[in-house]
Amino acid sequence: MPDITLVTRDGARLGFACEQNENVLDAAAAAGLFLPAMCREGSCGLCHAHVADGAYEMGSYAKGALSDADQAGVLLCRCQPREDLVIDLPYPQADVKRHAIISREVVIEALAPAGAGAMAVTVVYAPHSDLGQAADFVPGQYMELAIPGTDIRRAYSMSNLPNWDGRLEFLIRMQKDGAFSTYLADRAKIGDVLIARGPLGTFVLDETSSRPRCLIGGGCGFAPVLSMLRHLADFQDTQPTHLILGANREDELFPAGELDVLRAALPHMGVTLSVWRPDGDWQGFTGTAADAFEQYLESCPETPDVYVCGPPRMLEAVKAVAQERSIPPERIISERIL
């Protein structure tokens, strides 16, 4: 049976065996190593990694789950070994959990259009005698929500703050013909019970750092950034912070009302709204979020910590700008949203 060695970003080596007809993700879980993953069917892209050595076979996967440019890239839920493999993981050892993540029931409390083709969805934990009621998470994290009556799960980042009431708020952009989007548009109603798994993810603020922060959100990547900014506002944070929100078109930017509240609470915060292809009389920055980031760096006196959340192409573009400017990779904290 092939031996698999996983090498985490911080250099830890984790070994286990994997049958040739088994995928690496399942074999890792059987060995007590729970790796970041969600759909387990090659569509979310969360289990992506790089094979440094060894032969393998990849099962089918959805277009976009893996970048075409990423030659050594694999999805661990689709990767079966043909010999011993050494696999580089794009995250530190702390992200490899040693216990299964908690799943529990949540009830839909509110559903409302949020502009920019998105729905604001609020769920609340159903009472549980052992788990308590608090929604305990770190701003920037996400939950997996399952469509009622199915095993179909999707990741959504919380946009609110941790709270004692067990309330989780999401901003969910509707995708044409998408499974969860169709459930929300056609069937979801207040009182529906869903299974939520989490909290998950390490896209969180490094509060020990005194460097300036640049937070970049593309599309629905605004949700975790909003949670982070609400947290900073709550603590009346005074560290230099710059927010870049990117969208393809003006009407895809999230509503200005939310931003006005944050601007008032964080008066030192700079904001760039960047639109790649504005339709009409656009007064803001024209270009991609990566272009706006480049412009911001020109005026930033010190190398910042960079938090970037959005689709893979946006992440790659921002990371390329950061690399050109010699920003160390460990200062870039990213969340990839397919």
Ligand X SMILES: Cc1cc2nc3c(=O)[nH]c(=O)nc-3n(C[C@H](O)[C@H](O)[C@H](O)COP(=O)(O)OP(=O)(O)OC[C@H]3O[C@@H](n4cnc5c(N)ncnc54)[C@H](O)[C@@H]3O)c2cc1C
Binding site for ligand X (CB under 6 A): 43-44, 46, 142, 154-157, 170-173, 175-181, 201, 220, 223, 335, 337-338
* Residue 83 to residue 87: CA distance in whole angstroms: 12
Residue 202 contact partner, candidates ligand FES, ligand X, none, CB within 5 to 8 A by sort of partner: none
Contact yes or no for 64/45 (Cβ under 8 A):
yes
Minimum CB separation of residue 168 from ligand FES in Å reads 21
The tokens of 285 are what?
Answer: 């920055």
* Residue 283 to residue 176: CA distance in whole angstroms: 29
DSSP state at residue 10: T
* Residue 88 to residue 240: CA distance in whole angstroms: 34
Nearer to ligand FES, 87 or 290 (CB): 87
Residue 142 contact partner, candidates ligand FES, ligand X, none, CB within 5 to 8 A by sort of partner: ligand X
Asked if 116 interacts with ligand FES (CB under 6 A), we say no
CB atoms within 10 A of CB 287: 18
Q: Which of residues 54-73 bind ligand FES (CB under 6 A)?
A: 65
Asked if 96 interacts with ligand FES (CB under 6 A), we say no
Asked if 297 interacts with ligand FES (CB under 6 A), we say no
Q: Which of residues 22-51 bind ligand FES (CB under 6 A)?
A: 37-40, 42-47
Nearer to ligand FES, 38 or 87 (CB): 38
Ramachandran bin of 303, using left for φ above 0, alpha for ψ from -120 to 50, beta for the remaining angles:
beta
Minimum CB separation of residue 309 from ligand X in Å reads 8
Return the biggest CA–CA distance within the chain. 63
Specify which residues 105 forms β-bridges with: 195
Nearer to ligand FES, 6 or 273 (CB): 6
Residue 197, CB-side half-sphere exposure with 13 Å CA sphere: 15
Asked if 232 interacts with ligand FES (CB under 6 A), we say no
140: closest CA among 216, 195, 209?
216
Residue 123, H or E segment = strand 118-125
Minimum CB separation of residue 171 from ligand X in Å reads 6
Nearer to ligand FES, 61 or 285 (CB): 61
Specify which residues 143 forms β-bridges with: 156
Nearer to ligand FES, 41 or 84 (CB): 41
Asked if 6 interacts with ligand FES (CB under 6 A), we say no
Contact yes or no for 45/335 (Cβ under 8 A):
no
Nearer to ligand X, 93 or 175 (CB): 175
Residue 40 contact partner, candidates ligand FES, ligand X, none, CB within 5 to 8 A by sort of partner: ligand FES
Note the residues at the interface with ligand FES (CB under 6 A): 37-40, 42-47, 65, 75, 77
